[in-house]
Amino acid sequence: MTKISVKDLGLMDYGAAWELQESILGEVVKSKQLQTADNSAGHFLLVEHPHVFTLGNSGKADNLLVNEEFLKSKGASYYKTNRGGDITYHGPGQIVGYPIINLEAFGIGVREYVFRLEEVIIAVLKHYKIHATRLDGATGVWLDVQDKMKSRKICAIGVRVSRSVTMHGFAFNINTELDFYQLINPCGFTDRGVTSLAKELGYKIDIEEVKRSVIENFKRIFECEING
């Protein structure tokens, strides 16, 4: 069975986590090229970031509604990244997942990979008796998609794939400070909301419990063995 190494990085600066991802991606690509026979397909990093806004390579800079000086006054930083998607926010209380995996080891392409990431989050939310689904034409995990006035995103997804190896990933709002989303058009949307698990349930969530659920559902949906 394909093996994935999982590591919880705790609270880490976005730039440092990005640099770590690039380093691990290089190792996974090299292992793939050497056809290493240890059945290892990569790594799955879990992390929380200090307040930061990131813009994808297909995003529009004007979806950031304030200037960088204002962001600094709020204790937030800003990065233009090499992932797909538009602008999003990361901060404490949010689970950010960075799978750095060889898709060829799973026999899947990018579209199926994103579908499975969404499925992981949908399964976690089902455990909390929240019905979540996808929104046609958009990535991520949403609630009440049938009602545009009520629809809201609870998990954003933006990935990059290089030589069939993934990086970046998902941002799952758990106890997230949602006021920060007022500073952007989240993922480029101006007519849909953003929510968190805590807001939906009405109480602060044990984030470690959610992480365990994420890992278990990742293992099940990607049919892999988890180390670490």
Tell me if residue 187 is catalytic: yes
pLDDT tens digits, residue range 121-171? 999 999 999 999 999 988 999 999 988 888 999 999 999 999 999 999 999
**Please, what are the domains in the chain?**
3-227 (3.30.930.10)
pTM over 0.85: yes
Catalytic residue, chosen from 187, 207, 210, 215, is: 187
* All residues at 6 or more sequence positions from 120 whose CB lies less than 8 Å from its CB, including other chains: 214, 217, 218, 221
Per residue in 28-87, pLDDT tens? 988 877 765 455 689 999 999 999 999 988 888 889 999 988 988 999 999 999 998 888
d(CA 96, CA 144): 23
Sorted by sequence, the CB contacts under 8 Å of residue 215 that are 6+ apart come out as 6, 44, 46, 226
